[in-house]
């Protein structure tokens, strides 16, 4: 079976944060996640991640998803792969992909095409390469009339070799049995006194085995980040690439300023995305929606023809033809049913809002089930928390909740109930009833004038 080894031992000193470099995020996902998903998309799921600097954070992130091995000392890329020899020996029959955990744009097509070439050429090792305008710092691919002779690192290269623009991406396919054998033959006699994984090519060739180079058309596969500026550039590239994909799929953008859409997001045709809109996680959006400006939607399922203006939606479901905003906060566990309207300064948490219900302004609905065609007046609050536990409010279909109603949970309002403005509802209300809880209004005539007179300085 084919395997993969991902090198994730790097520190990233110039990021100036105590975190392994592969955990820095591009478009909301750690770079390591991009690399793992490329492997998995290419059908390679037996993966060993080599950890080093703050390896416990890598373990914590992976949560047992991949195998790991620790490189306790940083003695080079060859030494890093040596830490996976026990993993390789579990099954030496197939091929092993080696990738860098901090080069997020390696893609599954490149991985698959490189494997095809690797097998077809009967190679012990095939390095994946790309051609760069500025190859400085990378290992150069030395080609000969018959094939390649090896890889020379920047620090070991002659002037002539430095002029070569085809470079090592840091990704390779190895025949697993040959990789185990070649790792045992590496030494550190070079400018950096490191065990170079790149030396496996010249060693294989010297032993009469085949070694090849697979040149990727996609030079992005090589990109990594050494500092925050590089990371911002990776984010920018990924952001544009995702928006580019949605443009092809018929999603409208008039201006992409501040628009961030993570790559796991699905959007239906004809939807318009306005500036400042951030859509993350596994969000799924239907057709013909208008989202934004200045809207955040995380892990939601949104139907068709939905409008969300200047609002935040988290881990919730919104059905078709709903209008939300401006300034609405929909918190996790909510479901807004079709045709509902949620207006300004409304917060909804862990609640269901029924079909065609209107919650137009200044309302808190928490832990509640609101029926269909209900009208909730301004200033209404579900009093869902008594300081110890959270309780639910149930409001039946066709209810009319007057302004400034407090619903003290747990409480149940039947069908078509009215509550008078200002009522604090402390018990269940039967179908078709009015709940009113109010003191009698008193009129104190001339009050203002008497008050003024009492406080004015005495006239001379």
The pair of structure tokens assigned to 118 is: 């690797």
Residue 345 Cβ vs ligand UD1, minimum distance, rounded to whole Å: 48
Residue facing ligand UD1 at closest CB distance: 139
Kindly tell me which of 151 and 324 has the beta carbon lying closer to ligand UD1.
Answer: 151
Spatial CB neighbours of 127, under 8 Å, sequence gap ≥ 6: 141, 148, 151, 168, 169, 171, 172, 198, 201, 211, 212, 213, 214
Residue 118 Cβ vs ligand UD1, minimum distance, rounded to whole Å: 18
Which residues belong to the active site?
Answer: 361
- Give the sign of the dihedral formed by CA 221, CA 223, CA 225, CA 226: positive
The Cα–Cα gap between 92 and 85 comes to 10
Kindly tell me which of 52 and 339 has the beta carbon lying closer to ligand UD1.
Answer: 52
Kindly tell me which of 226 and 307 has the beta carbon lying closer to ligand UD1.
Answer: 226
Q: Is the link from the previous residue into 87 a cis peptide, with omega within 30 of 0?
A: no
Identify which of 276, 247, 242 has the alpha carbon closest to the alpha carbon of residue 261: 242
Residue 390 Cβ vs ligand UD1, minimum distance, rounded to whole Å: 46
Q: Rule CB under 6 A: which residues touch ligand UD1?
A: 7, 9-10, 50, 52, 71, 74-77, 79-80, 100-102, 138-139, 151, 153, 167-168, 170, 196-198, 224
Strand positions, DSSP E, 146-229: 148-152, 166-175, 211-215
Residue 123 Cβ vs ligand UD1, minimum distance, rounded to whole Å: 17
Q: Return the H-helix or E-strand segment holding 347.
A: strand 341-349
Kindly tell me which of 183 and 324 has the beta carbon lying closer to ligand UD1.
Answer: 183
Residue 353 Cβ vs ligand UD1, minimum distance, rounded to whole Å: 48
Kindly tell me which of 100 and 330 has the beta carbon lying closer to ligand UD1.
Answer: 100
Spatial CB neighbours of 395, under 8 Å, sequence gap ≥ 6: 368, 369, 370, 371, 374, 376, 401, 407, 413, 417
């Amino acid at each position: 079976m084919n395997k993969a080894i991902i090198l994730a031992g790097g520190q990233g000193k110039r990021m100036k944060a105590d975190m392994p470099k592969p955990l820095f995020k591009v478009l909301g996902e750690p770079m390591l996640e991009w690399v793992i998903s490329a492997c998995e998309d290419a059908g390679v799921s037996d993966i060993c991640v080599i950890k080093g600097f703050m390896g416990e954070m890598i373990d914590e992130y992976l949560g047992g998803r991949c195998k790991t091995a620790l490189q306790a000392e940083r003695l080079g890329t060859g030494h890093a792969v040596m830490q996976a020899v026990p993993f390789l020996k579990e099954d030496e029959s197939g091929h092993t992909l080696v990738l860098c955990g901090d080069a997020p744009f390696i893609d599954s097509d490149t991985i698959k095409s490189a494997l095809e070439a690797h097998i077809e050429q009967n190679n012990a090792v095939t390095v994946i390469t790309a051609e760069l305008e500025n190859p400085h710092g990378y290992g150069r691919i030395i080609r000969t009339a018959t094939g390649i002779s090896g890889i020379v690192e920047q620090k070991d290269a002659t002037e002539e070799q430095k002029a070569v623009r085809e470079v090592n991406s840091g990704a390779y396919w190895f025949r697993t049995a040959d990789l185990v054998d070649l790792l045992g033959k590496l030494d550190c006699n070079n400018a950096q006194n490191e065990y170079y994984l790149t030396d496996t090519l010249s060693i294989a060739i010297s032993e009469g085995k085949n070694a090849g180079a697979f040149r990727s058309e996609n030079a992005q596969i090589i990109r990594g980040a050494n500092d925050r500026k590089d990371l911002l550039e990776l984010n920018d590239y990924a952001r544009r690439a995702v928006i580019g994909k949605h443009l092809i799929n018929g999603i409208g953008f008039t201006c992409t300023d501040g628009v961030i859409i993570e790559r796991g997001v699905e959007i239906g045709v004809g939807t318009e995305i306005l500036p400042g809109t951030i859509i993350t996680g596994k969000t799924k959006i239907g057709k013909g929606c208008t989202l934004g400006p200045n809207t955040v939607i995380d892990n939601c399922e949104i139907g068709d023809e939905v409008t969300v203006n200047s609002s935040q939606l988290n881990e919730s479901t919104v059905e078709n033809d709903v209008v939300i905003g401006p300034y609405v906060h929909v918190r996790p566990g909510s479901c807004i049913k079709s045709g509902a309207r949620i207006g300004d300064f409304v917060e909804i948490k862990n609640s269901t809002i029924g079909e065609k219900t209107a919650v137009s302004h200044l309302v808190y609905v928490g832990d509640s089930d609101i029926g269909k065609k209900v009208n909730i007046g301004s200033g209404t609050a579900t009093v869902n928390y008594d300081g110890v536990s959270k309780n639910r409010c149930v409001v039946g279909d066709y209810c009319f909740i007057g302004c400034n109603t407090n619903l003290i949970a747990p409480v149940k309002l039947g069908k078509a109930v009215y509550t008078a403005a200002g009522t604090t509802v402390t018990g269940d209300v039967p179908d078709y009833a009015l709940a009113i809880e109010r003191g009698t209004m008193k009129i104190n005539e001339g009050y203002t004038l008497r008050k003024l007179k009492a406080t004015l300085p005495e006239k001379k």
